[in-house]
Amino acid sequence: MEKIIEVKDLTLTYENDDTPTLNSLNLDINRGEIVTVIGKSGCGKSTLLNTIAGYLEPTSGQVLLNGEPVTGPNWKLGVVFQNNALYPWLDVEDNIGFGLKMRHFDKELISKRVNTLLDQVQLTDKKKEYVFSLSGGMRQRVAIARALANQPQLVMFDESFGALDEFTRNDIHDVILGLWKSLNLTFFIITHDIDEAIKLGNRIVIMTPDKDSQLKIVDNPYFNIDSDDINSDYMKFKNDILKQII
C-alpha cells in the first residue's frame, strides 16, 4: 500500500516536563484508509495529531509526508477541530473558500469547488447563511468542507464530533463515510468514543498509558457496522480494546 504518512521514532516532550508525551512512536497511514485513534484523556492523542499536522515540532524522530519531512502546517494536511474554528463574520460559502482565496485561486475555480463541496456535505441551501446561525452539526459540515477545499492528501479530525448529540453524530458519520468512499480520501480520526472508533476505522490505533508500548494497532473487522449487526463478537472486540486503554 502507498504510504502517505510515516511516523518514525517520534518523541515529543513538552517544555518543563520530565516525561515524554509521545515516546518513540512508529505509525504509517496509507492512502485511501481511515485510521481512528482511541485512548484516555491525556494519553497524547491530540499531541500526535498536532505533530503530524506540523503544529508541534518533535523532540526527536520525524514525520514524513510522501517521503518528505513535515516541517510545519501546509495545505496538503487538513485538520477539523472540535470547535470547528470557523469565521463567524463570513457566510458558509466564504468560510469554505477561505483557504483557496488565501492561496490566490481564481474566483471561478473557487466558486466551482465550493459549490461542489456544498452539495457533497448537503448544505447547498445554506451557502449564504452566517455560520453562527447554524446548528452544531451543520457547522461541522462546513468545517469538513473547508478542510476538503484545498484537496489535501490527508484530513485529520481532533475529536471533531464529541460535542454533538448522538443523532447528529451518526449523520456526520454517514457524511464522512460517504465522502471517503466517493472521493477516495484518507482520514485520521482522534476520538474518545470506542463505538465511533470501530465504526469509522479501517484500522484502530489504541494509545495506552504505557510509555514503553504506547501504540497498539489492530485491524478492524467491524468497519461501518450497522447497529442491527452488533452481536456478542462485536462486544468482545470492543471490550478487548477497552481493556487495553485502561
Residue 238 confidence (pLDDT): 95
For the cut 90, the answer to whether the pLDDT of residue 1 exceeds it is no
157 and 146, same structural domain? no
In-domain check, residue 57: yes
In-domain check, residue 169: no
134 and 219, same structural domain? no
220 and 189, same structural domain? yes
Task: Quickly list DSSP for 172-222.
Answer: HHHHHHHHHHHHT--EEEEES-HHHHHHH-SEEEEE-S-TTS-EEEEE-TT
Q: Cα separation of 160 and 183, whole Å? A: 20
For the cut 90, the answer to whether the pLDDT of residue 146 exceeds it is yes
For the cut 90, the answer to whether the pLDDT of residue 16 exceeds it is no
In-domain check, residue 243: yes
88 and 4, same structural domain? no
215 and 125, same structural domain? no
190 and 114, same structural domain? no
Provide the whole-model pTM: 0.94
Residue 147 confidence (pLDDT): 95
Name the grid cell of 235. Answer: 462486544
CATH (domain of 20): 3.40.50.300
Q: What is the mean pLDDT of residues 66-92?
A: 91
156 and 67, same structural domain? yes
Task: Taking the CA atoms of 120, 126, 127 and 133 in sequence, report the sign of the dihedral they define.
Answer: negative
134 and 146, same structural domain? yes
Cβ neighbours for 231, distance < 8 A, ≥ 6 positions apart: none
In-domain check, residue 106: yes
Over the chain, what is the mean pLDDT? 93
143 and 85, same structural domain? yes
41 and 95, same structural domain? no
Can you give the residue range of the structural domain that contains 95? Answer: 77-151
Tell me the CA distances in angstroms from 28 to 67, 84, 128, 194, 215, one per residue in order.
11, 26, 40, 21, 12
Q: Cα separation of 66 and 99, whole Å? A: 22
Q: What order do you get walking across the sheet with 187-191 strand by strand? A: 77-81, 154-158, 187-191, 34-39, 203-207, 215-219
In-domain check, residue 227: yes
Q: pLDDT digit string (tens) for 190-212?
A: 999 999 999 999 999 999 877 67
In-domain check, residue 166: no
228 and 156, same structural domain? yes
In-domain check, residue 64: yes
Q: Cα separation of 115 and 8, whole Å? A: 39
Q: What is the mean pLDDT of residues 9-21?
A: 92
In-domain check, residue 132: yes
Structural domain total, the chain: 2
